[in-house]
Structure 1
Amino acid sequence: MSERITHRLVEVPGGRIHVAEQGAGPLVLLVHGFPESWYSWRRQLPALAAAGFRAAAIDVRGYGRSSRPPRVADYRLLAHVADNVAVVRALGESTAVVVGHDWGSPIAAATALIRPDLFRAVGLLSVPYAPRGPHRPTDGFAAMGGDEEFYVSYFQAPGRAEAEIEPDVRGWLAGFYASLSADTMGESAGESVSFVPRGGRLRDRFPKGVLPSWLTEADLEVYAGEFERTGLTGALNRYRNVDRDWEDLAAWDGATITQPALFAGGSLDPSTTWMAGAIEAFPRTLPNLTAAHILDDCGHWIQQERADEVNRLLTDWLRSLG
């Protein structure tokens, strides 16, 4: 087993993807969400390696050392699927398990859905699988906020969220992480922070001056340093493709994912509570779901908030796959 995390850049159709990897054995591809990086899997890489797996955590396109294509359309789900396929090929593997968190979860689900020949199982953290539905996503998001604006709608216009975040990247990240962490949610309880007052800013509802227990000052510096260097546009462009994804995935409307699957979410995570209907539909949408867990008193950043527990759930599930 490798004793340390190694880093490389691999070529993909859209440029390059940065991969952090550790261990030897069956490949497990780890896909992060917003606003994070490969570093969100820092506690999973050594645990999976110790369990006999080759763990590879990528910087999703638009993040970190991976390419940042210029067009919004370059961040559609199909492009992320192509990146994942190319990474597996570049690592010399013929199959992999893909595991995603936050936006990485829909990316992982689409990857498993579209390329079942290459991805033999899928793990979804925090965001449950929901097949493509009948309605354009931005129409649904526009109806959610009432007198306020749902954060995904707020992120749609290029430059708008960047103008809020980029003058104080470190402070914004600290507040956003705290807003969705179990031990620092405070009065926001993770819900109100997902809505923006008309004419206001998302950060106006962040807890002030607190860091969640899972995030050290050094950890925050890693995240902030990456986004200070890259900016936020590449990361935010994922949100700006939800309608394009809906159009791209028309051939998979209502489709099930047939590979063995795992889901784990936090009981205090809005992604879990808002999408309770998607979880209830798992017998139909994930017919080979082999492990499902809701972690009590856990927020959104599940693999960082409850690293030891998530490591155990992941390794037990991966070993069960054979």
Structure 2
Amino acid sequence: MTSVDATHVLHDGPWRHRFVSANGARFHVAEAGAGPLVVLLHGFPQMWWCWRYQLPALAAAGYRVAAMDLRGYGASDKPPRGYDTPTLAADVAAVIRSLGESDAVVVGHDWGGWISWSMPSLEPGVTRAVGAVSMAHPLAMRRSVRRYRNQAAASRYVWAFQLPFRPERRLVHPGTVEGLLRNGSGTDWPGDDEDGATVVQAYTDAMRVPFVAHSSMEYYRWAVRSTWRADGRSFVERVDRPIDVPVLHLQGVHDPAVLAQTARRSGDWARGGYEYLEVPDAGHFLPEERPDVVNAALLTWLGSLDTA
């Protein structure tokens, strides 16, 4: 299978690409606008480009928006280790500081949402507010997988990702990324608002950048294997505390990976203001499936933070 290099993820648009050194690594950031900083974190199997609709919308509204490639993805560094959530949160905090800001609103989708939920506990000094899209609070996810059969069934793919080598090989195989996108969406996306082949090819190329397939699996492997280790227990203790910053939580009603009933349990940790919105006829990939809803919700919520 032919791999591609990281230049394939530097898509043109109304943003500027830059690289910043942070937490001992180099991170790629797509940046637009000026004003209060909003950091956007992508999930699996994607990259910064999943925020292509939000970048210009938030920039036009007066925000400085930075969509970063997480460790191991896109054009960011792909070191052999560091895929535990505390390190990933430290990456985000260091990127915020490297961008010259003391704090930011952190908004994440999927794994980015898992990190954003964790930021107020792990990196409180830089976290002004949190947006979580298509991801429940980490402890709501963990407890739901253990206690409820439907969420356990929805998460069974995570166990397949624990196998060595095989998941990586499948991820770079033609059709795998397309299947993940189509099966995870609640509509006909990708393809209803732009050339579906363009979307599929962009994410397929991104997964074929050397080491990305392996790095993306390491997120899931740490989440499962750390459960029985001291680092995993420490993580649970640190995030099992009230979140005192404002939280916006967006969830697709037909999300097949993070069930809406699981997402609703996240409010138990949000004590600093919690806004929860379920999006009908939408699945897991909300920023691209329903960019109109996501943009409107983000802008309204961000506006309320500015005036508070």
TM-score, length-normalised on structure 2?
0.85
CA distance in 2, matches of 1:144, 1:4: 40
Q: 2:179 maps to which residue?
A: 175
Deviation digits for residues 259-307 of structure 1 (CA, Å, limit 9, x no counterpart):
001001111112442x51451451x311223421101111110010111
Give the 3 Å change call, closer, same or farther, for CA 295–114 of structure 1 in structure 2: same
CA distance in 2, matches of 1:61, 1:105: 15
Q: 1:112 maps to which residue?
A: 120
Give the 3 Å change call, closer, same or farther, for CA 227–18 of structure 1 in structure 2: same
Aligned identity (percent) is 36
Aligned positions of 1:207-226 closer than 5 A: 211-214=190-193, 216=195, 217-226=197-206
Q: 2:244 maps to which residue?
A: 258
Matched, 1:233 2:214: yes
SS at match of 2:124: coil
Give the 3 Å change call, closer, same or farther, for CA 215–68 of structure 1 in structure 2: farther
Give the 3 Å change call, closer, same or farther, for CA 242–258 of structure 1 in structure 2: same
CA distance in 2, matches of 1:312, 1:114: 29
Q: 1:249 maps to which residue?
A: 235
Does the 8 Å contact 1:98/1:112 carry over to 2? no
Q: 2:129 maps to which residue?
A: 121
Give the 3 Å change call, closer, same or farther, for CA 139–12 of structure 1 in structure 2: farther
Deviation digits for residues 2-35 of structure 1 (CA, Å, limit 9, x no counterpart):
x930011111224111100100000000000000
Matched, 1:27 2:57: no
Q: 1:78 maps to which residue?
A: 86
Matched, 1:15 2:25: yes
Aligned residue pairs, count: 286
SS at match of 1:131: helix
Which consecutive unaligned segments of at least 5 residues does structure 2 have?
1-12
Kindly provide the amino acid, as one letter, of the partner of residue 213 in structure 1.
D
Aligned positions of 1:80-229 closer than 5 A: 80-131=88-139, 144-145=152-153, 150-168=156-174, 171-184=175-188, 211-214=190-193, 216=195, 217-229=197-209
CA distance in 2, matches of 1:44, 1:159: 35
Matched, 1:295 2:261: no
CA distance in 1, matches of 2:239, 2:272: 19
Deviation digits for residues 194-228 of structure 1 (CA, Å, limit 9, x no counterpart):
xxxxxxxxxxxxxxxx9442563222222222222
Does the 8 Å contact 1:133/1:253 carry over to 2? no
Give the 3 Å change call, closer, same or farther, for CA 109–173 of structure 1 in structure 2: same
CA distance in 2, matches of 1:308, 1:89: 30
CA distance in 1, matches of 2:93, 2:39: 10
Which consecutive unaligned segments of at least 5 residues does structure 1 have?
185-209
